A = this chain, B = another copy of it.
Amino acid sequence: MISHLTDLTEMAKRREKKTIVVAAAHDKDVLRAVTDAYRQGISDAVLVGDAGKITKILTQLGCDPGDYTVIHSTTDTECARRAVREVREGRAHFLMKGMLGTADLMREVVDRDTGIRGDGLISHVMFFEQENYPKLLCLTDGGMITFPTLEQKVGILKNAARTMKRLGYDRIQAACVCGAESVNPKITATTDAAKLSEMKEEWESCNMNVFGPVGLDMAISKNSCAHKKYEAEGAGEADILLVPTYEVGNGIGKAMLYFGNAKNAGIIVGAKAPIILVSRSDAAESKLASIALASIAAE
């Protein structure tokens, strides 16, 4: 059980040092996070982008540019392609988006010839640290797959389980979060949740238990479960919240951040290497924790 984002950072420090490659690294916020991870012994870095700018920013940040591998690259596409190649050819363990569009980066990631596609689905996992919850909560998929089919939900859950296994989790509890506990044939989220809960064999290999449909309360509050007399393995103590649409994930995630003062760290999983997409507005702690998470998940 992991309670805090700093636990991820500490865990990453204790593991073998990895190498991150950043696509379009010529940005102060991005380099601050990457050099922070370097200083903490989490990862070395290959910085793809405008070499002049990168060197200048590194110096401004009080870093020695000699500690990093800088690969000069001008266009966004070139930056993305080269960064992906570093992973593909084994010189970097995971990838981070710098100053370029997510679509530009992902296009190179999924390229059938030169990309780093995996066998399965590519999805997003976001971990939240919450004052009111004793352990990290993994919310998925909050953005990569907007309206997943049942089959995609299976892939999303497997990706999340794989990530948690890397984090050292043994038994994993996953809740299919819907608007209620009852199965309504007209509401796909609830029928999918019922089907997912029944796929016991499917989850055996992940050592995961999937339950639902449940409202968020039955997923995370044992008190509420007792009150409503809702019983299911894992009820009230979910590790993973599977949301039916990205809109639900976005809403719950932002409510946690803005109303619950949560902290978060997220990565894209399912490709041959984890991918980090931090946004400018993320706190420094979140950015570092995302790098730590990717570093652990890259094993």
Contacts and interface: CB of A to CB of B under 8 A. Distances in A.
A69 interface: no
Contacts of A200: none
A281 B251 contact: no
A191 B218 CA distance: 32
B216 A255 contact: yes
A246 B178 CA distance: 9
Nearest to A243: B251
Contact of A244 (B179, B244, B247, B254): B247
A248 interface: yes
A228 B258 CA distance: 15
Interface stretch (A17-25, A41-49, A259-267): A259-267
A51 interface: no
Interface in A217-268: 217, 220-221, 224, 227-228, 243-252, 254-262
Contact of A216 (B177, B243, B254, B281): B254
A209 interface: no
A180 interface: yes
The interface size bin for chain A is: 35 or more
Contacts of A249: 179
B228 A178 contact: no
A215 interface: yes
B227 A179 contact: no
Contacts of A248: 245, 247-248, 251
Contacts of A224: 258, 281
A280 interface: yes
A255 B245 contact: no
A56 to B, nearest CB: 25
Contacts of A130: 259
Contacts of A115: none
Contacts of A261: 132
A1 interface: no
A146 interface: yes
Interface in A11-59: none
Contacts of A244: 247
Contact of A220 (B143, B256, B258): B258
A246 B132 contact: no
A287 B172 CA distance: 37
A281 B228 contact: yes
- Interface pairs A-B: 7 shortest CB-CB: A259-B260, A255-B255, A216-B254, A179-B250, A251-B252, A179-B247, A260-B260
11 contacts: A143-B179, A178-B247, A179-B247, A179-B251, A189-B247, A216-B255, A245-B245, A248-B251, A251-B251, A259-B262, A260-B260
Interface of A: 130-133, 143, 146, 177-180, 187, 189, 215-217, 220-221, 224, 227-228, 243-252, 254-262, 280-281
